[in-house]
Structures are given as C-alpha cells and as structure tokens.
Amino acid sequence: MGASFSGRQNSCLFLLRGLTIASVVTITFPNRETEKRALAFLLGRFSGGVLRSGEHIVPEAALEALANQDIPFSVIGRTTYEQQMAAIRGPAPTSVQ
C-alpha cells in the first residue's frame, strides 16, 4: 500500500496509510502578489500552514499543482515535525517570571 494524501482532510499535514507518511515540504514565494495568487489556488485543494517566517508548509503534491498553474515558488526543504507543530499551535509561550 502506498502513501495517500487528500488535501481536503484535516490530517495534521500528513496522512498515514499503512506505514507510509506523505511528504510535506516548506516553500516560499518570490513576492506578496505571487503568494496571494498561490494561496487563492491552494485553498480548498490542499492542507497546509504558514510559519511566522512567511514560509508555507504544503504537501508534496501541491508542488506539481503550483507548477501546472505557472506559479513560481522555491522549495526550502522537507518540513520537520517541529515546523508542522509550530504552524498548528503558533509560537511557543513565553516564560513567566
């Protein structure tokens, strides 16, 4: 059984089928206008998240979809578990003194 990913399911950025995890990557866009265009396209098609740095976390399948729409982007690399959790939870709380 191979990996299966449905962007319409709330899957905490990945979906398990058997023991395989669908890959999630971190990407950026060259400017704000391209970012808006990409987000308009991605919404409703793929799950994802945005880090405070402005980087976007998307499933690997979204890369081909963006390329097919001629939307330029740069791949930063595979997304770490910590990055996925930061996109879901937000920044870590500050310590109380």
In a structure prediction context, what are the per-residue pLDDT tens digits for the chain, which is 97 residues long? 333 333 433 333 344 444 345 688 999 999 999 999 999 999 989 988 888 888 998 999 999 999 999 999 999 988 777 777 766 665 556 667 6
pTM of the model: 0.66
Q: Domains (ranges, CATH) in the chain?
A: 23-89 (3.30.70)
Instruction: Convert 49-61 to b/e letters by CB count within 10 Å (16 or more is b).
Output: bebeeebbbbbee
Task: Give me 21's structure tokens.
Answer: 């995890």
